C-alpha cells in the first residue's frame, strides 16, 4: 500500500498557465498549508474556517504590510482533498507579476517550490489514485479532442485500474492455493493445482489480449495520428489542409511549388486528433530551397503514421506519381484522386490494380466526397472507435509493454504446467506476471519509475 506523505514539507506552485487572464491560482499542499496561507492572507482566519469553503480577502506582504492583490482563498482540509493533505488555493488576478509575487511570498513564509507533478505524486503516494489514474491526469490536460478527454476521464475514474486489480486478484488466489499445496504436501494436490494454474493463466492472458487490442486506438486518441499529405506539386495538398483545418493555413495558388516547407496543424477526425503535415511537392528540382523542402517532405513521410497521397486525376499517371506510389508503398496510406471536377484520366480501378490501399475520388476545390476520406481514415485506423469513449483503453507504451511482459510470463506458466515442471518453479512465473500487472497500477512499481513518470508532468499539477 502507498506510504503516507503528510509528514513531508508543504509545497506551493502556480497551477494555471502564466500570462494575462481572468484569474490565476496558486496552490499549497501539506500539513502547514493553512498556517502558511494565513501568514499572507488577510480577511478570514483560515485556521478557523470550515473545510471546502471560499473566503474573500487580500494577500499582504507581512514584512511591509503592502497589499499584493485582492483575492479569494479556498480551504480544503485533509483527507478529503486531491492529495489527501491540507490544500489552500489562492485565486488572484491573472497576470505574471502578481501571481509570481504571491508564490514568492508563500515560499518566503515556509512553503517549498513544488517539483513537476508533485501534487499528483502525493495523491498517488497517499493512496488517493493509482498510476493509471495519475497518467490520465496529464492525458486530461493534453486532450485535443472530446473523445480523448472522455477516455482520460474513464481512466481517471479507475476503469483500467479495476481491470488490472481483478486480474491480479485472480492470480493471487491461484498463488495462495499453490502455497497451501507447498506447505501441506501430504494432500498431494499437484495435478489439480497445476491444471488450475494453467486455466487461470489462460483466462488472464485472454483478458490481457483484450486490453492490448485497444493499444493502437488508445495511442491515437491520446497522442494523435501523424498524417503526411504528399504528392507532386500543385495536386491540391494545401487545399486539402485548408479544408480539414477550416482555415487558410497554407498558401494556395495555381503555381506549382508554392509550398517550400512542411506545415503542421492539428484537426479532429472522427473524434481523434490528426497532426496534419502539408509537405512540399516531392519531385526532382534544381532549386536549392525546394530541394530542402523535398528532403523534409521525405522525412515527414518516414515518420508518419498515415500518408494521404494525392494524385491529379485530371492528368495521366506520370512517372513522378509512380515514384510516389513506390516511395510510400510500405506506409499505411490512402490514395486521393483529386481534381475530379476537371475530368478523370486516372480511374480508381487503375490504382487498385497497383495497390491494396484505399482509394478516394474527390474534388477538394468543390468539396466533393471529402466525407469519404474521413470514413476511409476511420476504417483504416479506428476500428470500433465509435464506442471507445465508453471503453477502457490502454493509452501509453508503458502500460502496453508491461501487459506484454505479463502475458509472456503467463505463457511460461502454461508451458511449465504442460512440461510437468515442479509447481514451485511455475509459481515464479505466475508471481512475475502478478508483479508486472502491479507495476501498471503502481502497486509494485520501483521508486525510480515513480520519480521518472511524475517528472514528465507540468509544474503545479
Produce one character per residue of 385-395: b if its CB has 16 or more CB atoms within 10 Å, e if not.
beebbeebbbb
Q: Which three cell numbers stand for residue 319?
A: 512517372
Q: Which CATH number describes the domain made up of 11-128?
A: 3.30.1360.120
Q: Is residue 262 annotated as involved in ligand binding?
A: no
Average pLDDT, the chain: 82
Q: Is residue 254 annotated as involved in ligand binding?
A: yes
Name the E strands within 211-271. 225-230, 263-269
Handedness of CA 352, 301, 292, 252 (dihedral sign): positive
Q: Which CATH class is domain 221-386?
A: alpha beta
Residue 232 has a pLDDT of 81
pLDDT at 191 over 60: no
Q: Is residue 256 annotated as involved in ligand binding?
A: yes
Q: Is residue 35 annotated as involved in ligand binding?
A: no
Q: Is residue 27 annotated as involved in ligand binding?
A: yes
Q: Is residue 30 annotated as involved in ligand binding?
A: no
Tens of pLDDT, residue by residue over 22-32, are 899 999 999 99
Q: Which three cell numbers stand for residue 98?
A: 502578481
Rounded Cα distance between 167 and 171, Å, is 6
Q: Is residue 255 annotated as involved in ligand binding?
A: yes
Beta pairing, strands 306-312 & 333-338: parallel
Residue 421, CA atoms < 13 Å, CB-side half-sphere? 17
Tens of pLDDT, residue by residue over 203-262, are 999 999 999 988 877 777 777 788 888 888 788 877 888 888 775 443 333 333 434 344
Domain range list for the chain: 11-128, 137-214+394-441, 221-386
H or E, element range at 65 = none
Rounded Cα distance between 55 and 90, Å, is 10
Tens of pLDDT, residue by residue over 395-406, are 888 899 999 999
In the chain, what percentage of residues exceed pLDDT 70? 83
Q: Is residue 278 annotated as involved in ligand binding?
A: yes
Rounded Cα distance between 349 and 407, Å, is 43
Rounded Cα distance between 300 and 227, Å, is 9
Q: Is residue 235 annotated as involved in ligand binding?
A: yes
> Which DSSP state fits 279?
P
Residue 110 — φ and ψ, nearest 5°? 125, -10
Rounded Cα distance between 256 and 272, Å, is 32
Rounded Cα distance between 393 and 358, Å, is 27
Q: Is residue 431 annotated as involved in ligand binding?
A: no
Tens of pLDDT, residue by residue over 58-98, are 999 999 999 999 999 999 999 999 999 999 999 999 989 99
CATH 1.20.120.430 fits 137-214+394-441, yes or no: yes
Q: Is residue 252 annotated as involved in ligand binding?
A: no
Q: Is residue 237 annotated as involved in ligand binding?
A: yes
Among 226-235, 262-271, 407-416, name the one with the lowest average pLDDT.
262-271
Q: Is residue 89 annotated as involved in ligand binding?
A: yes
Q: Is residue 42 annotated as involved in ligand binding?
A: no
Q: Are 232 and 290 in contact (CB under 8 A)?
A: no
Among 256-265, 280-289, 297-306, 316-325, name the one with the lowest average pLDDT.
256-265
Tens of pLDDT, residue by residue over 135-185, are 888 888 777 777 777 787 888 888 889 999 999 999 988 888 766 555 555
pLDDT band at 272 (very low <50, low <70, confident <90, very high): low
Q: Is residue 387 annotated as involved in ligand binding?
A: no
Residue 10 has a pLDDT of 95
How are the residues of the chain apportioned to helix, strand and coil, as percentages rounded to the nearest 5? 50, 20, 35
Rounded Cα distance between 263 and 252, Å, is 13
Q: Which three cell numbers stand for residue 392?
A: 477502457
Contacts (Cβ under 8 Å, ≥6 apart) of 168: 434, 437, 438, 443
Contacts (Cβ under 8 Å, ≥6 apart) of 313: 337, 338, 339, 340, 344, 345, 346, 361
Rounded Cα distance between 197 and 200, Å, is 5
pLDDT at 414 over 50: yes
pLDDT band at 263 (very low <50, low <70, confident <90, very high): low
Only one residue has cell 498515415, namely: 306
Residue 303 — φ and ψ, nearest 5°? -90, -5
H or E, element range at 28 = strand 21-29
Q: Which three cell numbers stand for residue 87?
A: 490544500
Q: In what order do the strands lie in the sheet with 87-94?
A: 41-42, 53-60, 67-76, 87-94, 21-29, 11-14, 112-113
Q: Is residue 190 annotated as involved in ligand binding?
A: no
Rounded Cα distance between 117 and 18, Å, is 17
Q: Is residue 350 annotated as involved in ligand binding?
A: no
Rounded Cα distance between 372 and 185, Å, is 66
Residue 320 — φ and ψ, nearest 5°? -60, -40
Rounded Cα distance between 226 and 305, Å, is 5
Amino acid at each position: 500500500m502507498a506510504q503516507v506523505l503528510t509528514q513531508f514539507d508543504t509545497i506551493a506552485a502556480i497551477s494555471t498557465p502564466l500570462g494575462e487572464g481572468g484569474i490565476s491560482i496558486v496552490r499549497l499542499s501539506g500539513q502547514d498549508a493553512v498556517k502558511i496561507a494565513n501568514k499572507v492572507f488577510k480577511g478570514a482566519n483560515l485556521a478557523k474556517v470550515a473545510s471546502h469553503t471560499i473566503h474573500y480577502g487580500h494577500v499582504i506582504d507581512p514584512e511591509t504590510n503592502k497589499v499584493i492583490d485582492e483575492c479569494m482563498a479556498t480551504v480544503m482540509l485533509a483527507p478529503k482533498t486531491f492529495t489527501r493533505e491540507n490544500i489552500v488555493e489562492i485565486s488572484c488576478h491573472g497576470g505574471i507579476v502578481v501571481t509570481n509575487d504571491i508564490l514568492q511570498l508563500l515560499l518566503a513564509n515556509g512553503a517549498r517550490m513544488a517539483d513537476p507533478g508533485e501534487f499528483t505524486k502525493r495523491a498517488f503516494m497517499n493512496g488517493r489514485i493509482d498510476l493509471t489514474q495519475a497518467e490520465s491526469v496529464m492525458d486530461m490536460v493534453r486532450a485535443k479532442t472530446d473523445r480523448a478527454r472522455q477516455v482520460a476521464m474513464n481512466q481517471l475514474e479507475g476503469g483500467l485500474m479495476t481491470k488490472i486489480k481483478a486480474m491480479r486478484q485472480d492470480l493471487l488466489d491461484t498463488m495462495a492455493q499453490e502455497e497451501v499445496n507447498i506447505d501441506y504436501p501430504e494432500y498431494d494436490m499437484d495435478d489439480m493445482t497445476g491444471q488450475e494454474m494453467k486455466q487461470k493463466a489462460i483466462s488472464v492472458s485472454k483478458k490481457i489480449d483484450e486490453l492490448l487490442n485497444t493499444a493502437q486506438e488508445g495511442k491515437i486518441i491520446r497522442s494523435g495520428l501523424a498524417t503526411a499529405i504528399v504528392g507532386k506539386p500543385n495536386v491540391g495538398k494545401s487545399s486539402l489542409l485548408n479544408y480539414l483545418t477550416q482555415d487558410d493555413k497554407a498558401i494556395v495558388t495555381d503555381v506549382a511549388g508554392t509550398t517550400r516547407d512542411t506545415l503542421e496543424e492539428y484537426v479532429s477526425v472522427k473524434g481523434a486528433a490528426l497532426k496534419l503535415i502539408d509537405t512540399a511537392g516531392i519531385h526532382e528540382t534544381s532549386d536549392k530551397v525546394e530541394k530542402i523542402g523535398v528532403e523534409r517532405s521525405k522525412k515527414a513521410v518516414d515518420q508518419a503514421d498515415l500518408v494521404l497521397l494525392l494524385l491529379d486525376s485530371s492528368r495521366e499517371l506520370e512517372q513522378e506519381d509512380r515514384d510516389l506510389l513506390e516511395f510510400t508503398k510500405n506506409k499505411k496510406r490512402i490514395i486521393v484522386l483529386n481534381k475530379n471536377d476537371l475530368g478523370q484520366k486516372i480511374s480508381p480501378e487503375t490504382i487498385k490494380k497497383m495497390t491494396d490501399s484505399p482509394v478516394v475520388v474527390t474534388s477538394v476545390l468543390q468539396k466533393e466526397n471529402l466525407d469519404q476520406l474521413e470514413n476511409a481514415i476511420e476504417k483504416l485506423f479506428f476500428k470500433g472507435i465509435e464506442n471507445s469513449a465508453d471503453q477502457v483503453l490502454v493509452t501509453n507504451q508503458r502500460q502496453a509493454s508491461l501487459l506484454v511482459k505479463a502475458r509472456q510470463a503467463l505463457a511460461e506458466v502454461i508451458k511449465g504446467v504442460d512440461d510437468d515442471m515442479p509447481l514451485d518453479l511455475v509459481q515464479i512465473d505466475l508471481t512475475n506476471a502478478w508483479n508486472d500487472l502491479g507495476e501498471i497500477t503502481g502497486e509494485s512499481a520501483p521508486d525510480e519509475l515513480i520519480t521518472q513518470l511524475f517528472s514528465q508532468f507540468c509544474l503545479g499539477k
